[in-house]
Chains A and B, each alone.
Chain A
């Protein structure tokens, strides 16, 4: 089962937003405006990221570049949240100490093939180290496009 970016998806998204608006109006939640903003942001951001990842998947080096960007954003986010932006080199060291050994084990054992399709989701989850917002698309362990190569 796969969700495709069809007109049905557009219809479903519009209905979901309308449903949220109606419910928030009936329940006097006063969240109408912010839910519309959140929905539009989610649609635009994911559309842009999807297109960028299509590009990043083309070569291993572009995927690596994408992973490096994710790492930099991760270090920036956590240093800013904790208020230690000046300590970013040490924070990078601590984060790399968690990320590099895990990727080494995953790829050295051959658990997943070393290519963009597996690197971006696995590295992304480990860098964010939080599996709640990182649901992903195609199969992780046995990507068919890779297995057939």
Chain B
């Protein structure tokens, strides 16, 4: 949910402010998906950044929810760590897949903001 919100919001914001580049891409003979990818190469990657940062800094800067939850539930710190690393890597994998699919669907104007519908010729 969070990853989808980020990738869609980033992509639409970027497309709105770079519609000229997108249309230039189309006029060069690029497909809609190619033109979107050309004008917006970073939105998909950026959407995975918050979780990536949390995964990198876990234990150093933060103790996230699963870790605290297992401790409060009576688990040992090792069990808490095991649960937390499973959760973090699970989120990382899930976000990567969701963002990859969502970005493809945005490139093909399957997921499209109402105000961009006309500009993207879906």
Chain A residues within CB distance 8 Å of chain B: 1-3, 74-75, 77-78, 81-84, 86-87, 90-91, 93-95, 97-99, 101-102, 105-106, 111-112, 121-122, 125-142
Q: Which residues of A contact B101 (CB under 8 A)?
A: 93-94, 97-98
Q: Are A140 and B69 in contact (CB under 8 A)?
A: yes
Q: Which residues of A contact B51 (CB under 8 A)?
A: 129-130
Instruction: Judge whether B102 is part of the interface by a CB distance below 8 angstroms.
Output: yes
Chain B residues within CB distance 8 Å of chain A: 1-5, 8-9, 12, 51, 54, 64-66, 68-75, 79, 82-84, 86-88, 90-91, 93-102, 105, 110-114
The contact sample of 12 A-B pairs, CB cut-off 8 A, is: A3-B72, A84-B111, A87-B110, A98-B3, A99-B94, A102-B93, A121-B69, A125-B66, A136-B73, A138-B73, A140-B82, A140-B86
In the complex, the chain B residue whose C-beta lies closest to that of A87 is B111
Which of B79, B99, B111, B113 lies at the interface centre, i.e. has the most chain A CB atoms within 10 A of its CB? B111
Q: Are B68 and A95 in contact (CB under 8 A)?
A: no
In the complex, the chain B residue whose C-beta lies closest to that of A111 is B86
Q: Which of A2, A126, A132 contacts B72 (CB 8 A)?
A: A2
Q: Are B105 and A90 in contact (CB under 8 A)?
A: yes
Q: How far is the CA of A141 from the CA of B75 in the complex (A)?
A: 9
With contact pairs A78-B4, A128-B1, A130-B1 given, residues A135 and B66 touching in the complex (Cβ less than 8 Å): yes
Q: Which residues of B contact A81 (CB under 8 A)?
A: 5, 9
Q: Are B105 and A140 in contact (CB under 8 A)?
A: no
Q: Which residues of B contact A126 (CB under 8 A)?
A: 90-91, 94
Q: Which residues of B contact A83 (CB under 8 A)?
A: 12, 113-114
Closest 5 CB pairs of A and B: A98-B98, A140-B83, A136-B69, A135-B65, A98-B94
With contact pairs A126-B91, A141-B86 given, residues A101 and B8 touching in the complex (Cβ less than 8 Å): no
Q: Which residues of A contact B73 (CB under 8 A)?
A: 2, 136-139
Q: Are B72 and A135 in contact (CB under 8 A)?
A: yes
- B30 CB to closest chain A CB (Å) equals 22
With contact pairs A82-B8, A134-B66, A141-B86 given, residues A129 and B113 touching in the complex (Cβ less than 8 Å): no
Q: Which residues of B contact A1 (CB under 8 A)?
A: 71-72, 74
- A95 CB to closest chain B CB (Å) equals 6
In the complex, the chain A residue whose C-beta lies closest to that of B95 is A129
